[in-house]
Structure 1
Amino acid sequence: MQQMKAIGFHKHLPITEADSLIDLELERPVAKGHDVLVEIKAVSVNPVDTKVRAKGTDEQEPKIIGYDAAGVVVEVGDHASLFSVGDEVYYAGAINRPGSNSEFQLVDERIVAKKPERLTFSEAAALPLTALTAYEALTDRMHITFDAKSNLEKTILIIGAAGGVGSIATQLANHAGLTVIGTASRPETIDWAKAHGAHHTINHHEDFREQLEQLGYSYVDYVFCLNATDQHFDAMVDVITPQGTICSIVETDQALNLSALQQKSATFAWEFMFTRSLFETPDMIRQHEILTRIATWLEEETLETTVTQTLIGLNAENLKEAHRLVESGKTIGKIVVEQH
């Protein structure tokens, strides 16, 4: 049996603990069915990585996480038909399968797409999870089209516009023809949000309505919440237009007062990027299609990668540093770890 290097853990620990992430040697998997085996060239770290690492019960077998990757196909399963050995690909993986923090990873081809040729592996690895999350939220949950003419009079408020998902959502919403209002509170995050498609910014630590009215808006047609759903819920209810849509990606332990949306006949929707792969939904291949479309826009330079920091060497030490940076809550864009 061939071996491979990987980074994982047995216990869900704070990142400051020595065993929170450890270097491992595991058996290299074999591609079967709809799977392809990818040699990992680069990964990026998202908030979901830190949440899965920090919370849970002890693992008998080492748990390998990592939900963004770019690499090269080295094997294809007997039912796989979308890719060939040697194809350069990018994807976000599945939350219920071993992740990308390893030399090789099995992934269902229906959630994989060819890497944009214009981008390096590191630039591509920064994108899949955030691009899928933003695209699915805008199109599948909020039913926004990319027909710019139909969106010219419409507005979207993106709470947390300078983070990983926000950095893509602002670009996509701008490309869809919406007026994009992003929240940001520091000079560097304000500049980043505006550089990536936000027409205006407001401070998420201050009153939303007052700031929006200063910009000339009484309501917004859409709200995309990427930070503290329960903390911002009342403000979102206040500023959403009648019959508008709010979408959030941030789980909460607090009960949300959905009745507050009743008078406005407003919609509240969740976006969870892993839904399709977790439940193997009939439309699972849509993620392949979305990433393929995103790749086209990246080739055309309609979209830009959002990587802001790259660490060289896919090992426990560098992944700990990436987790620490993400957990600080101060990161702008995405942090990538290259294999070599």
Structure 2
Amino acid sequence: MKAVVAYEPRAADHPEALVDTTLPDPTPGPRDLLVRVEAVSVNPVDTKVRRRGGWAAGEAKVLGYDAAGTVVAVGAAVSLFKPGDRVYYAGDITRAGSNAELQVVDERIVGPMPTSLGFAEAAALPLTAITAWELLFDRFGVTQDSDGTLLVVGAAGGVGSILVQLARQMSGMRVVGTASRPETREWVLSLGAHAVIDHAAPLGDGLRQAGIGPVAMVASLTHTDRHYAALVEALAPQGRLGLIDDPETPLDVMALKRKSLSLHWEMMFARSMFQTPDMQAQHELLARVAGMVDAGTLRTTVGEHFGTINASNLRRAHQLVESGRARGKVVLASF
């Protein structure tokens, strides 16, 4: 099969950061699907793994987590899908990724693709939808009756673009996003945010100028260490702080004590990495997301289409994602 691989950690603009190659076709295990990959999207985790390495020297590391494609074969114990089914998923960080013609993936973390979307549009959704869903509903415990203000830091990115929509559709909360450019501000408002403030300026100032008082929850999706003190200050007593990024400096958890604030990490790969008993929850939530998309209550978050899946186009996509200037998701389709 054709594949795009990394052999060693390199900067995204290096001509050998990602290279085209061919690899043996994979074989599905008992609970696995063998999927023909039709489209992928690029997430910050793709770029982090490429930069940091961690695989064996000389190994051809296939990156990529988001994918949409067609099931071509199933393992002996598979019960949720059959050959010919169109599926979408975010994969498993401990296994070979989606930047290949064929991929094996556990059926319990795969969802039926929205029938109203093409492969590229569907590939933009899984990782960000799982992350946003788990943060809102599993970590924060948000329900349809939840009220108060939810502050989403980095609301124009992939996760933020889904989280804003889910919070508006599935809770009674006031949703305030942060963005730093006119086009990203408009994007966040178009997704349903009640208000947008500039995160290039001090967050506390922006909240005060917008007349926004203490917030019940903060979803910090980027630059948590930069804004940490302001986020602690902005949170109401007994508020909840959730984050998904990798702060470069340690966070002072003692700063949370005075207000009895709680800290919530979201790592969407935890279920598949540790084979948790509730691993199939990701299949179920992806099915619910597909239903919402088909009903017109949730929209895909494609920002840019970078063409065919190959090393050159993936290097360009990695550079854009690393720049922090991507709006929504970068997708690529077909080999």
Inter-partner Cα distance in structure 2 for 1:239 and 1:81: 47
Q: Give the aligned partner of residue 332 of structure 1.
A: 327
Instruction: Judge which range, 318-327 or 296-305, deviates more.
Output: 318-327
Which of residues 73, 96, 105 is equivalent to 1:107?
105
Shift, 1:54, TM fit? 0.8
- May I ask how many residue pairs the two structures share in their alignment? 333
Inter-partner Cα distance in structure 2 for 1:236 and 1:253: 17
| 1:241 aligns to 2:239 (yes or no) | no
Q: Give the aligned partner of residue 269 of structure 2.
A: 274
In structure 1, the residue corresponding to 2:258 is in which secondary structure?
A: coil
Over the aligned positions, Cα root-mean-square deviation in angstroms equals 1.1
Q: Give the aligned partner of residue 7 of structure 1.
A: 4
In structure 2, the residue corresponding to 1:135 is in which secondary structure?
A: helix
In structure 2, the residue corresponding to 1:6 is in which secondary structure?
A: strand
Contact 2:197 2:210 in 1 (8 A): no
In structure 2, the residue corresponding to 1:102 is in which secondary structure?
A: coil
**Residue type of the alignment partner of 1:105:** Q
| 1:154 aligns to 2:151 (yes or no) | no
Q: Deviations over 1:258-308 (max 9, x none)?
A: 111111111011101101011111110010011011011001110000002
Matches within 5 A, 1:171-186: 171-175=165-169, 176-186=171-181
| 1:189 aligns to 2:187 (yes or no) | no
Shift, 1:89, TM fit? 0.1
Inter-partner Cα distance in structure 1 for 2:316 and 2:201: 31
Shift, 1:329, TM fit? 1.1
**Residue type of the alignment partner of 1:188:** E
Which of residues 15, 20, 24 is equivalent to 1:23?
20
Matches within 5 A, 1:40-59: 40-57=37-54, 59=57
| 1:224 aligns to 2:222 (yes or no) | no
TM-score when normalising by structure 2 = 0.97
TM-score when normalising by structure 1 = 0.96
Inter-partner Cα distance in structure 2 for 1:26 and 1:172: 39
Inter-partner Cα distance in structure 2 for 1:90 and 1:135: 16
Shift, 1:210, TM fit? 3.0
Inter-partner Cα distance in structure 2 for 1:324 and 1:261: 35
Which of residues 140, 160, 164 is equivalent to 2:158?
164
Inter-partner Cα distance in structure 2 for 1:60 and 1:211: 49
Inter-partner Cα distance in structure 1 for 2:183 and 2:307: 25
Shift, 1:254, TM fit? 1.2
What stretches of structure 2 of length at least 5 have no aligned partner? none
Shift, 1:253, TM fit? 3.1
Contact 1:209 1:218 in 2 (8 A): no
Instruction: Judge which range, 204-213 or 191-200, deviates more.
Output: 204-213
Inter-partner Cα distance in structure 1 for 2:277 and 2:302: 32
In structure 2, the residue corresponding to 1:27 is in which secondary structure?
A: coil
Inter-partner Cα distance in structure 2 for 1:253 and 1:208: 19
Runs of 4+ in 1 over 4 A off after TM superposition: none
Contact 2:13 2:316 in 1 (8 A): no
Contact 1:30 1:75 in 2 (8 A): no
